[in-house]
Amino acid sequence: MTQEGLERLLAWLGPDRDSAGDRYEDVRHRLIRIFTQRGCHEAEDLADETINRVVKKIAETDLTDTYDGDPALYFYGVAKKVFKEYLARRPKANIPAPTPGDDVEWKFQCLEGCLDALNTEGRELILQYYQGAKRRKIDHRKQLAQQLGIGATALRIRACRIRAVLDKCIRECINQEQMKRESVGAL
């Protein structure tokens, strides 16, 4: 999301910057709640994706002039499409939960190795980003954004990008380890 895109979005959401910012946070929290209620484990990511798509639509068209009604309803309509796409790309296989006899240590080693592969700034940011729970986590993220001199949205985008890199690395590591274990088991 560009600064210009954010400004246009805020102008659409409210007459002054403060009320528009409050409206933005309200819409984002509602989107997260909607995705969470639908059983999505990536609710924050999907909420951010929804907002980014609306911002892109505002930049590409004259949506702010042509759309009649509550802007929040437009977000919810986009969220429906984002959720359908999420369901379509989600793996269909049921991965069983590890049982006490399973060796899950190597999965944690994959996580640690992938965290170590990040640059120091990225590793610290992602570890800081996921500290705390509920209100404490929200307050901590605001403080982290202030320390970095960026907005909350920019912080979420950075964390999302780092998480995508981590996810790819971890999946590759786990797949490699599983292939090794299968080949050893076949002998």
Q: Where are the domains of the chain?
A: 3-89, 105-186
Q: What is the pTM of this model?
A: 0.49
Residue written as token pair 């379509």: 88
pLDDT at res. 93: 47
Rounded percentage of the chain residues whose pLDDT exceeds 70 = 90
H/E stretch holding 42 reads none
Residue 139, pLDDT > 90, answer no
Separation of alpha carbons 135 and 149, rounded Å: 21
- Going by pLDDT thresholds of 50, 70 and 90, the confidence category of residue 79 is very high
Interval 143-185: pLDDT, tens: 989 998 998 888 988 888 999 899 999 889 888 888 887 777 6
Interval 112-130: pLDDT, tens: 899 999 998 888 889 888 8
Structure tokens belonging to residue 87: 């369901």
Interval 60-70: pLDDT, tens: 877 777 777 88
Separation of alpha carbons 138 and 160, rounded Å: 16
Residue 23, pLDDT > 60, answer yes
Residue 101, pLDDT > 50, answer no
- Going by pLDDT thresholds of 50, 70 and 90, the confidence category of residue 82 is very high
Contact in structure between 141 and 155 (CB atoms under 8 Å): yes
Q: State in words which class domain 105-186 has.
A: mainly alpha
Separation of alpha carbons 154 and 31, rounded Å: 18
